[in-house]
Amino acid sequence: MPPLPAGIGAPHAAPAGMPPALRLLGSGAALAGPELARRLAVSRAAVWKQIDTLRRHGLEIVSDAHGYRLARPLEILDVERVRRGVPEALRRRLGAIENHWRLDSTSSEIARRAAELPDLSFVFADWQEAGRGRRGRQWLSPPARNLQFSCLKRFAGGYAALSGLSLAVGLAAARALEDRGIRDIGLKWPNDLVYGDAKLGGILVELGGEFMGPCHAVIGIGINVDLPVAMRQGLDRTCTDLAALCNGVVPSRNELASALVACLVDALDAFDARGFSACAQAWAARDVLAGRRIRVLDPRGGFEGIAEGVDARGALAVRTPEGIRAIDSGEISVRPA
């Protein structure tokens, strides 16, 4: 797999709220504690406190004879660069594009402002303190290392027409990565991007508005771009990141963000017009569970069977001794048996 251009370095305009010490260390250059303290006009103890906080949240900051330095330089998201990277025909249709240094959750931020934000608005965050996945799980991510964002999409119809939306979003994300040279990305029902059996990213779709319509979807996407080894070891399943898939070269977060925005807008247009049927065949080509024995974890009682793809609504079809069972996502989790 060819490496992608990194495009990494100190941000031209660091986002509001970014810790001052990190602004100075963002390029990857080493700075001694006394020099950091002098530039920031604080005590060395205050510098150490900032460094310690960033380390505890997953940033790899090395300290040696030369001072403090980031294990890898940062690339802060630049929303104007992201917008310019989207093809012009799609760019004109975009709503707001925002990046926040620190949020509880990008999806929570959109949900709070759903009534005021225009359609196809995107909210990114360099650091999420309460990012979440399905079934109440927390999405762990160090500051400014991965990509996490949410999109607001309005629909004229009701909830029933949105069956299979998370699968369509997964396909859009996989296509965006492929456009950036990252191939062989699979999809695990209902919301995981995987490489082999290692999780690369996740999707969470939350609905609001009127059940019968009109309604809206808050579409959250998280992609592991550069996940520290220590953070991986704290997770409950095998994960990978784009740096590993690109031979150690960290791809540009801004370029990836543009590709994801463009592919998602295209996919949402197709889904709005034709529903999940617009992408059922493409989903089947990336379905990593098809034909495998799986374990369905259901609070009402789990079972095992053979995954047989998805039906016209995007529900998982599982062959059991009693016949085919169609599984909607809800509070259900699926694992290879």
307 and 236 co-located in one domain? no
120 and 147 co-located in one domain? yes
pLDDT, average across residues 203-229: 95
135 and 241 co-located in one domain? yes
For 64-113, the pLDDT digits (tens) are 999 999 988 889 899 999 999 999 999 999 999 999 999 999 999 999 99
137 — pLDDT class (breaks 50, 70, 90):
low
Q: CA-based diameter of the chain, in Å?
A: 72
For 190-211, the pLDDT digits (tens) are 999 999 999 999 999 999 999 9
152 and 249 co-located in one domain? yes
Predicted pLDDT of residue 264: 98
Cα gap 74→24, rounded to integer Å: 11
CATH of the domain at 152: 3.30.930.10
259 and 309 co-located in one domain? no
134 assigned to some structural domain: yes
279 assigned to some structural domain: yes
255 and 320 co-located in one domain? no
1 assigned to some structural domain: no
260 assigned to some structural domain: yes
For 48, other C-beta atoms within 10 Å of its C-beta total 16
61 and 197 co-located in one domain? no
Of the three residues 269, 284, 299, the one that is the final residue of a domain is 284
Tokens 């079809």 identify what position? 317
For 258-286, the pLDDT digits (tens) are 999 999 999 999 999 999 988 999 999 99
Read off the pTM.
0.89
334 — pLDDT class (breaks 50, 70, 90):
confident
99 and 201 co-located in one domain? yes
59 and 93 co-located in one domain? no
46 assigned to some structural domain: yes
Predicted pLDDT of residue 6: 41
Containing structural domain, residue 314 = 289-336
For 1-60, the pLDDT digits (tens) are 433 334 444 444 677 888 888 989 988 899 999 999 999 999 999 999 999 988 888 889
Predicted pLDDT of residue 301: 78
- pLDDT higher at 141 or 87: 87
CATH of the domain at 313: 2.30.30.100
pLDDT, average across residues 306-316: 93
118 assigned to some structural domain: yes
Q: Which of 108-117, 152-161, 215-224, 235-244 is predicted with the least confidence, judged by mean pLDDT?
A: 235-244
99 and 195 co-located in one domain? yes
Cα gap 196→215, rounded to integer Å: 35
CB contact burial 79-92 (16+ within 10 A = b; e otherwise): beebeebbeeebbe
Nearest CA among 162, 168, 170, 165 for reference residue 279:
168
Predicted pLDDT of residue 7: 42
239 and 110 co-located in one domain? yes
12 assigned to some structural domain: no
14 assigned to some structural domain: no
Predicted pLDDT of residue 132: 54
pLDDT, average across residues 116-126: 97
CATH of the domain at 31: 1.10.10.10
124 and 62 co-located in one domain? no
Count of structural domains, the chain: 3
- In percent, the amount of the chain with pLDDT more than 70 equals 91
- What is the rounded average pLDDT for all residues in the chain? 89
pLDDT, average across residues 127-150: 75
